[in-house]
Amino acid sequence: MKTTTIAVAAVSLLQLASAQPFRGLRRHLHRHEKKDVVTVVEIDYAQPAEEPEVIVYVNQDGTPASTTTSYPAVAPVTSATPASTPSVSVTPFSVTVQVNDVASSSVANSAPVASTPVTSSSAAPAQTSSSAPAASSSSSSEGSGFGFSYSPYNADNSCKTQDQVNTDFAKIGDGYSLVRTYGTDCNQVATVLSAAKSKGLKLFAGVFDLGTLSSEIALIVSAANGDWSSFDTISIGNELVNAGTASAATVVAAISTARTLLKAAGYTGKVVTVDTLVAAKANPSLCDNSDYCAVNSHPFFDGNTAAKDSGTFLTNSISDLQSVLANKNQEIVITETGWPWQGETNDKAVPSAANQAAALTSIKTAFASKPSGVILFTVFNNLWKTNTAAQFSAEQYWGFLGNCPSG
């Protein structure tokens, strides 16, 4: 019996610090609690064929900010020993996963930190305050075919139940096409999938941690239970290269491994990795090895873009990215974009309810002919997150329908 996993290449704090002045490297703090203890048996990961790779971090204009050299490798992992079942198997790779639900009241800091420094002071940062967007009831064609992201966590970081998820989804208007989630903890693939089906939505599921790739795939397989008809996409990682958590070669190898495991389980849909538009432009192999090019892009973090110009910012950025792809006609999907309704001003980017509405109108107008190419971030406020100066104290306030109805 052997246990293996994909090793990730870490970037030192010094290297991250050298890239910090560039707005294009700012990102959301996607932190997800890992509540599953897993044991994985007999997994052979695909090996990247690339030579050692130099990663170049650039700003939004493409100017190099810093570099680091990555050496793809496969390293052993020490797995926790579970105490109980259930057990899930994926053939022909004999993936056996045993899961224990470990209760926790806080989100683990296992996710990569933001690539912009958090400034601290004794006084709380000044914020641009405004009334929060109010949650709306269902109305036909409200979503107009766009997707939205959703996280099933309560404000105290605990997991939402199926009833809570159902309550939240009941307050989301009709007309959306897809819901995006980021991980597999909190049984979220099953709970969100059930709620999505009730509204006729497809699910964009995600694997958050490459270190638990096979076990997270197994949990997705278990939730699907042989029926993949409601799955649109499965993402392998979110902003890992941008954060310096993994090299492009490591992520590409993980995509290949995941695609093989999913195919063995009967999934023939789309498999991608998601990173920032800036990171994808600097590392086009991320898109070249995905079934479409999936990128997060937030005009707010640019600082030179007003809310009303958000749509133009995105279309121009997509055009720049397209030029570096191996397939110049490859589909590009914006897997995160939006505007905060509260927080600190970032030069021309001002958080307010009015500006959030203006940004969403601009984005929807720019992508009116292809709404499936945009996933709006995010449907409800993420009060389980921590506001930081690095994110302009806005991390909790991107919900365009206000607070979650279920708490």
Q: Is the dihedral of CA 123, 126, 130, 134 positive or negative?
A: negative
Q: Beta-carbon neighbour count of residue 395 at 10 Å?
A: 21
Element housing 116 (H / E): none
Provide the residue ranges of all domains of the chain, joining segments of one domain with +. Answer: 1-101+131-407
- Chain-centre distance of CA 66, in angstroms? 24
Q: What are phi and psi of 228, to 5 degrees?
A: -100, 10
CA distances from 139 to 86, 264, 304, 320 (A): 40, 40, 34, 36
Per-residue pLDDT at 146 = 98
In a structure prediction context, what are the per-residue pLDDT tens digits for the chain, which is 407 residues long? 433 333 333 333 333 333 333 333 445 665 443 333 333 333 343 444 444 444 444 455 555 544 444 444 433 333 333 333 333 333 333 333 333 332 333 333 333 333 333 333 333 334 444 566 755 444 446 778 999 999 999 999 999 999 999 999 999 999 999 999 999 999 999 999 999 999 999 999 999 999 999 999 999 999 999 999 999 999 999 999 999 999 999 999 999 999 999 999 999 999 999 999 999 999 999 999 999 999 999 999 999 999 999 999 999 999 999 999 999 999 999 999 999 999 999 999 999 999 999 999 999 999 999 999 999 999 999 999 999 999 999 999 999 999 999 98
Structure tokens at 318: 């997509």
How far apart are the C-alpha atoms of 94 and 376, rounded to whole Å?
Answer: 37
Tell me the residue type at 38: V
pLDDT at 132: 67
Q: In the prediction, which pLDDT does 195 show?
A: 98
What was the pLDDT predicted at 144? 85
Task: Note whether 214 and 249 are within 8 A (CB).
Answer: no
3-state secondary structure of 299: helix
pLDDT of residue 392: 98
Output the CA torsion 240→332→22→16 (10° steps). Answer: 10
Task: Determine the Cα angle at 85 with ends 79 and 87, to 5°.
Answer: 80
**The pLDDT of residue 24:** 39
Amino acid identity, residue 399? Answer: G
Give 271's DSSP letter. E
Q: What is the pTM of this model?
A: 0.71
CB atoms < 10 A from the CB of 228, how many? 18
Specify the amino acid at residue 28.
H
DSSP state of 389: G
Are 179 and 148 in contact by the 8 Å Cβ rule? The answer is yes
Summarised one tens digit per residue, pLDDT across range 107-127 is: 333 333 333 333 333 333 344
Query: Encoding tokens for residue 191?
Result: 């709970």
- Report the pLDDT value the prediction gives residue 47, as an integer from 0 to 100: 42
Output Rg (C-alpha) for the chain, integer angstroms. Answer: 20
Determine contact, residues 266/62, Cβ cutoff 8 Å: no
Q: Quick one: DSSP state of residue 269?
A: S
DSSP label of 128:
B
pLDDT given for residue 55 in this prediction: 47
CA angle 93, 206, 312 (to 5 degrees): 140
Asked if 305 and 313 count as a contact pair (C-beta separation under 8 A), the reply is: yes
Cite the active site residues.
Answer: 336
CATH class, range 1-101+131-407: alpha beta
